[in-house]
Structure 1
Amino acid sequence: MSEKKADLESQLEQMAQALQVALEKLHVPFDADAFAWAGVLAREYKEHAGDARGMGWKGIKRYGLGRPPLVPAQFALRYFEIEPGGYSSLEKHHHVHLVVVIRGRGKALVGTRVFDLKPFDLIYVPPDTPHRWINPYTEPFGFLCPVDAERDRPQPLSDEEWETLRQNPETAPWVF
């Protein structure tokens, strides 16, 4: 056998092994009692709370359920869970959110409105729209949030946006 053919067979074997590993991971079991996916560990919501007004957060964990290069996709799927009394940063960015609630109840400040959310509600956050996820209830609040794998970073609100939300009776309780 030629060296070139041996290299090709070796590469094919490596590809087959990699494919087998990927196929074995097509199903990640979910434990309903623990409300967790097997082998998926929680991470901090963000690596740094940020010093800018509104960019702090409390009691929120992020679970990466799939992202490049682990899956050949242009998106990442994340699950966020907010403990009672917790909240996300009040931020905006160019990429959109299309969120599906799957656990508990919570609130979403989106633009100049606040929405009450429950399991299987769907909520859309348009580009460059101020938003915050809040759990004022006594049980965990969790949602699936797919995003573009390559996306811009969250930004704090402008003074004008902050003041508009602070003056709005609907959003004011959640602007801090």
Structure 2
Amino acid sequence: MADQSKIIRNEEFNWPGIQKKKYKPVPDRYDSVTRYVLLGENDDEQGLNFQTRYFEIGTDGYSSLERHRHPHTVIIVRGEGSMILGNEYHQLDTFDTVYIAPETVHQFHADRGSPLGFICIVDRYRDRPEVPASRHELKSWIPDPDVRNKARL
């Protein structure tokens, strides 16, 4: 099927015609996260070498703590929160933009009283994330004990 240009309309952080999915198939190591793959997954979007996705983390929820070989970009478009990025902990506000370099441990938290929604742009074909096997392994991933204590597994 040939690629066709299109506009995908938003209605209050929902995209009619795009399936709202669970963050990951197995509900493990995260809480209250949903996602939409907006572009880059369908047969009529083969010209895209990337995916544009929207993730939303419910109030007090969090994404999985992970790292992987591919880089990606995140743009906060709803609410406020925080994140672990490498060995640092950062507050996030609407329209903050994050570059996550390869092999950088990261985790998003909706810990500031509202849902946290963000656009994530990532390679269409990419490696699978790696998660720490234990709290002990986490020490080598995040040396700073204050940052490590923020991690949710």
Q: Is 1:44 equivalent to 2:46 in the alignment?
A: no
Deviation at 1:166, TM superposition (A): 6.8
1:43-74 CA distances to partner (integer Å, 9 max, x unpaired)?
Answer: 00001245xxxxx1110001010114331211
Larger radius of gyration: 1
> SS in structure 2 opposite 1:82?
strand
Residue equivalent to 1:112: 87
Unaligned 5+ residue runs, structure 1?
Answer: 1-14, 51-55
Q: Is 1:86 equivalent to 2:61 in the alignment?
A: yes
Q: State how many pairs are aligned.
A: 149
> SS in structure 2 opposite 1:173?
coil
Q: How does 1:135-150 map to 2 (within 5 A)?
A: 135-150=110-125
Task: Check whether the contact 1:130–1:157 (CA below 8 A) recurs between aligned residues.
Answer: no
Task: Check whether the contact 2:54–2:118 (CA below 8 A) recurs between aligned residues.
Answer: yes
Unaligned 5+ residue runs, structure 2?
Answer: none
After TM superposition, where is structure 1 displaced by more than 6 Å over at least 4 residues in a row?
A: none
Distance 1:70 1:114 in 2: 39
1:77-131 CA distances to partner (integer Å, 9 max, x unpaired)?
Answer: 1000000011111111000121100000011101001111111101111101111
TM-score (norm 2): 0.86
Identity score, percent: 32
Task: Check whether the contact 1:83–1:135 (CA below 8 A) recurs between aligned residues.
Answer: yes
Residue equivalent to 1:172: 149
